[in-house]
Structure 1
């Protein structure tokens, strides 16, 4: 698989990575299988899908433990990204950026992952009660201690920023400027897809100018861009799409022209809509890495094959002309 640089250093990963969250959290619980997830992880590494993206809060903790069942025998082939700074509370998620919490969380992640070093340690959310420089400084100390190789930041406040129009990602860029003065940013993880292209406006240019990798989260639009979801189908209560405004029956039907456009391009390449959606993400720049989530070996293989798909200028123009996605994010 084509490899792409991870920041300004010598780190590199496969152009398509693997978002491991669906294996343990947020999506259809009835379709999860620990053994199938293990097969998916081994297949990913076999295919050159080296970036495995997880977080301590996924589960919580179970997602890292799952990776810990694979890493001891495949560590040299894997580039492990995990996150810190966000806890699962009783009713909502809670940010915790205290330096002491960062240090404890890193040690706990290393134990669960059964590895000596985390390749990319990302700040999942900035804590409004702690200056982000203090949190980032604690993370930088982990690099100095040899427990972490590089640092990243997850784009935050996406829903509020969508409502702000031109202010999209300004909060994230402000944070990036602040932490960059403390320790170099290697990667930023942010939503980027055919139906959520907002990161192209300000965030991607910021990353490009500074040699920072952009990890494209949700490149398949929470599964919508695969074309496998039927408008009106129900989601299990714990599935995040059950409460997602774009996944009501009305909005899924209204956004079908986007899937139709993906299918049209896919037919010309003997590909799937999902592969076209991923190829579009990869076409946005050489420092962009696609991070589709998957929990089954079949989808890992399909996603990995998208790294070989080269869209033509005509394809990209046709996709750019697709209607904007409908659906409130409030």
Structure 2
């Protein structure tokens, strides 16, 4: 698999990563089986995937434990990315960016992951009660201590500001510029997909201009762009899609033209809609590494295969003309 470089640390990883969140968090618990997840991680490594993305919040904690088990005996083949800064308290998610907490969280993640070093340590979300410089400075100390190799920011969940003319990621960029004054940012993780291309407006250009890696989160639209979900299908109550505005029966039907367009391109290449969606993300820049999430061995292997799919100019034009995702509030 092609390798891509992340940030000032020039850390090389396979062009397609593996998001581990669905293995123990946010999706239907009835479909989460540890043995399947272990096989998915092993199959991804066999297919050339290196970046394995998790977080202490997922579970909480169970996701890192699972990744630690999956990488036992194969740690040298993987590039481990995890996150700190969010806690689950009484079923609510709260931010904690206090330096002392960050240090303790890192040590706990190292134990759960059964490793001596975290390749990429990401701030999951900035704590509004703590200056981001303080949090980032504590994370930089972890690099100096040899516990972490590089630092990143997770910007998933950014929403368009209310000011006229403002872009979705303007606030994230201001935050990143403050962080850069303390210690280099090696990677930014944010949503980027065929139906959610907003990062192309300003965030991805900011990263490209500074040599910062970009981890494309949700590149398959929470599974919708795979073409395996049907409008009107139900989701279990603990599945995040049961409450997501794009996954109402009405919106799933309205967004079908996106899947139809991806399938049309896929048929020309003998590929799948998911592989086309990932190949599109890869074409957005040499620093882009899509991180599709899955808990199934089959999909992990299929996703890795997208690294070898070469889209034509015609393909890209067709995809760029597809409508963006409609939301229930549109």
- Aligned twin of 1:144: 144
Shift of 1:251: 0.3
Mean Cα deviation higher: 82-91 or 124-133: 82-91
**Residues 156 and 171 in structure 1, CA contact (< 8 A), matched pair in contact too:** no
Aligned-partner Cα distance in 2 for 1:20–1:9: 24
Q: What is the rounded CA distance, in whole Å, between the counterparts of 2:161 and 2:187 in structure 1? A: 20
Tell me what 1:201 maps to. Answer: 201
Partner in structure 2 of residue 62 of structure 1? 62
Equivalent residue, structure 2, for 1:254: 254
User: Offset at 1:160?
Assistant: 4.3
CA distance in 1, matches of 2:209, 2:234: 43
Residue 92 of structure 1: CA displacement?
1.9
Preserved contact between residue 18 and residue 293 of structure 1 (Cα < 8 Å): yes
Quote how far apart the aligned CAs of 1:167 are.
2.1
Unpaired stretches in structure 2, ≥5 consecutive residues = none
Q: Hey, which bits of structure 1, 4+ residues long, moved more than 6 A?
A: 162-165
1:306 aligned partner: 306
Q: Partners of 1:163 and 1:224 in 2: how far apart?
A: 31
Map 1:85-104 to 2 at 5 A.
Answer: 85-104=85-104
1:134 corresponding residue in structure 2: 134
| Matching residue of 2:27 | 27
Q: Residue 128 of structure 2 aligns to a residue in which SS?
A: coil
Deviation at 1:157, TM superposition (A): 4.6
Structure-2 change in CA distance of 1:123 and 1:307 (3 Å):
same
| SS of equivalent to 1:41 | helix
3-state secondary structure, aligned to 1:48 = coil
User: Corresponding residue for 2:177?
Assistant: 177
Report the Cα distance in structure 2 between the residues aligned to 1:94 and 1:103, rounded to whole angstroms: 17
Would the aligned equivalents of 2:248 and 2:328 in 1 still touch at CA under 8 Å? no
Match of 1:49 in 2: 49
CA deviation digits over 1:118-170, x for unaligned, max 9? Answer: 00000000000000000000000000000000000011552344997642101
Corresponding residue for residue 12 of structure 1: 12
Q: How many residues align?
A: 330
**In structure 2, how many angstroms separate the alpha carbons of the residues matched to 1:13 and 1:156?**
21
Q: What secondary structure does 2:72 align onto?
A: helix
Say which SS state the counterpart of residue 72 (structure 1) adopts. Answer: coil
TM-score by length of 1: 0.97
Cα RMSD after superposing both structures: 1.4
* Ranges in structure 1 where 5+ consecutive residues have no aligned partner: none
Secondary structure of 2:4's partner? strand
Is the 8 Å Cα contact of residues 102 and 135 (structure 1) preserved in structure 2? yes
